[in-house]
């Protein structure tokens, strides 16, 4: 098995990796590690008050399918209005250059593409968090007017204290480990290309393992969604057969809540891995008793809970505005763990 | 009416006639029919249009030979339409084309199954004309204007029913709205399949079928799917014991019946299979449970369950003591029944499956409700 030598990596990147990963050799194994305990409520620090714009922004995140990328710290990212305008112009120039590639240089700039970098209010709940940044691309549509072809949000919601402490030594880096994207795939790749080139970072798709999906369903299955009382808890298992593709297992919200209460200690703000195993195990045992089919042998591909749904390919859909911070906090945590592992 | 194709035997359409007569007809009558004709012709693929031309007496075109040189699909459609003489011919051809399309693309529709009980006489003598006339007579007694077209193809009566009703718009203008549905009846069986039937028309059509086939009761089975032969086979197996290939099976089931290829045991004196006995026992069980023929292709099975929760021990269940857990399970795939059989072969499913899982092919349903009495 090939081992990657960390001494050969660029000096600037190796300084900011956590100590433990620098010492650890990189191995490709099918087994992944998981924390023993996760916090359900978040850090009890002073929170920032939200504005009207922030509330409106939060509504814009709900009921849309986002594809998630994990992003390493951005080098020399500046929040000043002039810098954000500069980034918009540079991104526009890059998109136009790619469009006209092979056709020669066009005289005068094209007005068909509009790009915008702006601060996205509402996602930072703690004072230590970097502010979220929104990237939008609009093109002129055939019927007149403008059509949005890409929307991306770089954010960090209650990021890990270890990672933030490391960056505290250098003011040149900005921690925004989560990129939510929605739009045309071609523009997504171009934006990722731009971010990686301009800010000397690495942006890769964040995929959820079945274990991480198990954590999500265990943490969120017991939460009742008053906005959508009919939404059930759903587990989709993929079957490795040509004839049978998937088994979808839906449990009514109220029933899932009661099962969760039997397993999880209500007085605790934390959820441990034993509770996750017990919750999933109980659902699978119930299925096995009724159908005689052992779901533990199949792969969990997709989950849906009252506040959110997630797919193993890195897609996320949030249904509840009240739960946005908790869900994105968990995604930030997963993103930082994945970055530390790689 | 002959079996298959679009036989319109009265017209001699070997020569191409000019379509001047069409221009003299009222434009209000021609446009909707022409639009509809173009729409249905465009739905066919180019190679399917060749089937339409080859099997139809009306579209026998002298000038356009599609085999001689490559031809654009739109040009071919224009050529086909130009052969038609007048509105009445167009009105006659549109239902037949729609029936042909539904026959070629039956897998694209969701079919539902009705069972007619206690039919008075054997239905071998039910002909397309007989079926069409009786259905049409009954349905036209209702408030709708109904048009029924019936064709015989591979022992099945493919029927198109169109309902036309006036709809009053806000501007007080009256518009005639047409909806089309399709039936399929195999005279050797008590089953009638339908698709695209509106809820408002369902009861009327069921009564018409009852009257036509002279049964005492018609029941909608909880069985839906895309593959017609699979639906008929599942409904048939519910009422009949396990069958062998030559025991009076309807043609639609017989042609799709496939024997499973037996797995070959390669015996090698150098390799000792420690679990051979267990493996052969498993194979024997699976063959006994699922038979030697491939299971009918069902794409979707839905279970609705309301029972106590079996995932926790009695000591762990606090709030769940009197609570019944409500859940639904959906199996999806190309052939779910065959997939369940494979799960047993691979050891993912237990050997002793409950009847509603292992024996589903004989229950004649793909929607199952499991309830536990409190």
Is residue B320 a part of any domain in this protein?
yes
What is the crossing angle of helices A253-263 and A273-291, to 10°? Answer: 130
> In chain A, which among 90-149 make CB contacts under 8 A with chain B?
none
pLDDT at position B338 is 92
The CATH number linked to B164 is 3.30.310
Whether A161 and A175 have beta carbons less than 8 Å apart is answered as no
Q: Report the complex ipTM.
A: 0.81
- Closest in A243, A246, A262 to B319, CB measured: A262
Closest Cα to residue B344, out of B299, B290, B266, B305?
B290
Is residue B336 a part of any domain in this protein?
yes
The CATH number linked to B304 is 3.10.20.720
Of the pLDDT bands very low, low, confident and very high (cuts 50, 70, 90), residue A226 is confident
**Confidence check: pLDDT of B248 > 60:** yes
DSSP state of B263: P
Question: Which residues of A are less than 8 Å from B318 in CB distance?
Answer: 261-262
Which one of A217, A238, A241, A294 makes the best mutation probe of the B interface by having the most chain B beta carbons within 10 Å?
Answer: A241
At B322-359, the pLDDT tens digits run 788 999 999 999 999 999 999 998 889 988 889 899 88
Q: Do B47 and B138 fall within a single domain? A: no
Average of per-residue pLDDT across B268-297: 81
Q: Do B138 and B66 fall within a single domain? A: no
Q: Identify the domain boundary among B211, B238, B265.
A: B238
**Confidence check: pLDDT of B6 > 60:** no
State the Cα–Cα distance between residues B223 and B3, nearest whole angstrom. Answer: 29
Of the pLDDT bands very low, low, confident and very high (cuts 50, 70, 90), residue A204 is very high
Q: Do B172 and B204 fall within a single domain? A: yes
Backbone region of residue A144 per phi and psi (left: phi > 0; alpha: psi in -120 to 50; beta: other values): left
Pairing of β B367-371 and β B300-307: parallel
Whether B370 and B306 have beta carbons less than 8 Å apart is answered as yes
Whether B64 and B15 have beta carbons less than 8 Å apart is answered as no
> In chain B, which among 310-349 make CB contacts under 8 A with chain A?
310-312, 316-320, 323, 325-336, 338-340, 342-343, 348-349
Q: Is residue B279 less than 8 Å (CB to CB) from chain A? A: no
Give the chain B residue whose CA is nearest to the CA of A233: B327
Q: Is residue B246 less than 8 Å (CB to CB) from chain A? A: no
Q: Is residue A251 less than 8 Å (CB to CB) from chain B? A: yes
Q: Do B117 and B228 fall within a single domain? A: yes
pLDDT at position A163 is 61
Question: Which residues of A are less than 8 Å from B326 in CB distance?
Answer: 251-252, 254-255
Give pTM, 2 decimals.
0.81
pLDDT at position A5 is 39
pLDDT at position B247 is 59
Q: Is the pLDDT higher at B230 or at B64?
A: B230
At B126-178, the pLDDT tens digits run 788 989 999 999 999 988 889 999 998 888 899 999 998 887 776 767 777 88
- Closest in A248, A290, A297 to B348, CB measured: A297
CA distances from B114 to A83, A165, B154, B298 (A): 69, 70, 20, 17
Q: Is residue A283 less than 8 Å (CB to CB) from chain B? A: yes
Pairing of β A270-272 and β B367-371: unpaired
Question: Which residues of B are less than 8 Å from A244 in CB distance?
Answer: 331-336, 338-340, 342-343
pLDDT at position B183 is 95
Give the chain A residue whose CA is nearest to the CA of B315: A262
Whether A303 and A235 have beta carbons less than 8 Å apart is answered as yes
**Confidence check: pLDDT of A50 > 80:** no
Question: Which residues of A are less than 8 Å from B345 in CB distance?
Answer: none
A and B: number of Cβ contacts within 8 A: 123
Is residue B75 a part of any domain in this protein?
yes
Give the chain A residue whose CA is nearest to the CA of B336: A244
Does B334 sit within 8 Å of A286, measured CB to CB?
no
Of the pLDDT bands very low, low, confident and very high (cuts 50, 70, 90), residue B87 is confident
Does A244 sit within 8 Å of B338, measured CB to CB?
yes
Q: Is residue A242 less than 8 Å (CB to CB) from chain B? A: yes
- Closest in A239, A290, A293 to B305, CB measured: A290
CA distances from A244 to A301, B78, B112 (A): 14, 44, 22
Average of per-residue pLDDT across A180-209: 94
Does B311 sit within 8 Å of A259, measured CB to CB?
yes
Average of per-residue pLDDT across B78-96: 80
State the Cα–Cα distance between residues B221 and B228, nearest whole angstrom. Answer: 14
State the Cα–Cα distance between residues A178 and A199, nearest whole angstrom. Answer: 15
pLDDT at position A136 is 95
Least confident window among A63-67, B273-277, B360-364: B273-277
**Confidence check: pLDDT of A1 > 60:** no
Is residue B263 a part of any domain in this protein?
no
Q: Is the pLDDT higher at A56 or at A307?
A: A307
Domain extent for B39? 14-84
Does B330 sit within 8 Å of A262, measured CB to CB?
no
Is residue B4 a part of any domain in this protein?
no
Query: What phi and psi, each to the nearest 5 degrees, are found at residue B148?
Result: -120, 130
At A280-294, the pLDDT tens digits run 999 999 999 999 999
Q: Identify the domain boundary among B219, B238, B257.
A: B238
Is residue B306 a part of any domain in this protein?
yes
DSSP for B53-79, please give it: HHHBSTT--SS--TTTS---HHHHHHH
Tell me which H or E stretch contains B30. helix B27-43
Distance of CA B62 to the CA centre of its chain: 36
Q: Is residue A296 less than 8 Å (CB to CB) from chain B? A: no
Whether A306 and A219 have beta carbons less than 8 Å apart is answered as no
**Confidence check: pLDDT of A98 > 50:** yes
Nearest CA-CA distance, residue A231 and chain B, Å: 12
Is residue B1 a part of any domain in this protein?
no
pLDDT at position A281 is 93
Alpha helices of A5-68 — where are they, by DSSP H? 11-14, 19-23, 52-61
Q: How many CA atoms lie within 13 A of A113 on its CB side?
A: 21
Question: Which residues of A are less than 8 Å from B331 in CB distance?
Answer: 244, 246-247
Alpha helices of A6-80 — where are they, by DSSP H? 11-14, 19-23, 52-61
Is residue B283 a part of any domain in this protein?
yes
Tell me which H or E stretch contains A330. helix A324-341
**Confidence check: pLDDT of B9 > 70:** no
Does A242 sit within 8 Å of B350, measured CB to CB?
no
Number of domains in chain B: 3
Does A246 sit within 8 Å of B323, measured CB to CB?
no
State the Cα–Cα distance between residues B328 and A145, nearest whole angstrom. Answer: 45
Partners of residue B328 on adjacent β-strands: A250, B304
Question: Which residues of B are less than 8 Å from A294 in CB distance?
Answer: 348-350
Pairing of β A146-155 and β A132-140: antiparallel
């Amino acid at each position: 098995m090939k081992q990657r030598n960390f001494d050969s990596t660029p000096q600037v990147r190796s300084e900011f990796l956590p100590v433990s990963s620098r010492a650890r050799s990189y191995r490709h194994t099918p087994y992944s590690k998981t924390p023993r305990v996760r916090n359900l409520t978040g850090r009890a620090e002073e929170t920032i008050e939200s504005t009207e714009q922030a509330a409106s922004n939060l509504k814009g995140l709900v009921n849309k399918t986002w594809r998630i990328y994990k992003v390493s710290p951005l080098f020399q990212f500046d929040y000043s209005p002039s810098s954000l305008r500069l980034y918009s112009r540079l991104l526009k120039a890059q998109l136009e250059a790619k469009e006209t590639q092979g056709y020669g240089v066009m005289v005068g700039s094209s007005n068909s593409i509009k790009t915008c970098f702006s601060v996205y209010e509402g996602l930072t709940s703690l004072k230590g968090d970097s502010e979220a940044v929104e990237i939008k691309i609009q093109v002129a549509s055939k019927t007149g007017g403008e059509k949005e072809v890409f929307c991306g949000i770089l954010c960090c919601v209650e990021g890990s204290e270890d990672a933030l402490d490391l960056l505290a030594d250098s003011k040149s880096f900005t921690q925004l480990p989560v990129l939510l994207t929605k739009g045309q795939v071609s523009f997504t790749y171009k934006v990722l290309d731009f971010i990686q080139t301009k800010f000397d970072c690495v942006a890769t798709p964040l995929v959820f393992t079945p274990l991480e999906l198990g954590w999500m369903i265990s943490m969120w299955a017991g939460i009742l969604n008053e906005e959508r009382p009919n939404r059930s808890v759903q587990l989709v298992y993929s079957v490795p057969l040509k004839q049978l593709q998937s088994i979808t297992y839906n449990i009514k919200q109220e029933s899932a809540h009661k099962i969760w209460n039997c397993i999880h200690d209500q007085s605790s703000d934390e959820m441990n891995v034993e509770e996750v195993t017990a919750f999933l195990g109980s659902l699978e045992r119930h299925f096995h008793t009724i159908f005689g089919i052992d779901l533990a042998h199949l792969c969990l591909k997709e989950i849906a809970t009252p506040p959110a749904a997630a797919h193993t390919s890195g897609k996320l859909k949030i249904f509840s505005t009240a739960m946005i911070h908790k869900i994105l906090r968990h995604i930030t945590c997963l993103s930082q763990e994945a970055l530390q592992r790689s | 009416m002959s079996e298959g194709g679009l036989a319109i035997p009265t017209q001699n359409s070997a020569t191409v006639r000019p379509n001047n007569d069409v221009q003299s007809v009222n434009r209000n009558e021609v446009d909707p029919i022409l639009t509809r004709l173009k729409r249905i012709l465009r739905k066919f693929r180019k190679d399917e249009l060749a089937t339409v031309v080859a099997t139809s007496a009306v579209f026998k075109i002298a000038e356009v030979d599609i085999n001689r040189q490559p031809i654009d699909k739109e040009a071919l459609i224009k050529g086909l339409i130009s052969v038609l003489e007048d509105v009445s011919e167009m009105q006659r051809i549109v239902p037949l084309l729609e029936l042909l399309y539904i026959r070629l693309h039956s897998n694209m529709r969701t079919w539902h199954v009705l069972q007619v009980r206690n039919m008075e006489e054997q239905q071998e003598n039910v002909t397309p004309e007989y079926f069409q006339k009786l259905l049409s007579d009954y349905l036209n007694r209702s408030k709708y204007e109904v048009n029924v077209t019936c064709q015989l193809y591979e022992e099945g009566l493919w029927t198109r029913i169109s309902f036309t009703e006036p709809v009053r718009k806000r501007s007080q203008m009256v518009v005639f709205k047409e909806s089309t549905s399709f039936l399929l009846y195999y005279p050797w069986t008590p089953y009638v399949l339908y698709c695209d039937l509106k809820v408002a028309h369902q009861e009327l059509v069921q009564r018409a079928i009852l009257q036509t086939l002279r049964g005492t009761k018609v029941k909608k089975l909880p069985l839906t799917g895309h593959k017609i032969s699979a639906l008929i086979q599942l409904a048939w197996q519910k009422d009949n014991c396990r069958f062998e290939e030559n025991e009076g099976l309807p043609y639609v089931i017989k042609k799709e019946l496939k024997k499973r290829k037996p797995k070959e045991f390669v015996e090698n004196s150098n390799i000792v299979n420690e679990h051979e006995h267990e493996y052969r026992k498993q194979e024997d069980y699976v063959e006994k449970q699922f038979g030697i023929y491939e299971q009918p292709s069902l794409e979707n099975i839905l279970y609705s369950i309301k029972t106590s929760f079996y995932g926790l021990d009695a000591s762990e269940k606090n709030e769940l003591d009197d609570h019944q857990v409500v859940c639904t399970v959906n199996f999806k795939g190309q052939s779910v029944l065959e997939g369940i059989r494979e799960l047993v072969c691979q050891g993912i499913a237990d050997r002793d499956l409950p009847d509603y899982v292992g024996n589903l092919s004989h229950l004649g349903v793909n929607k199952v409700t499991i309830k536990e009495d409190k």
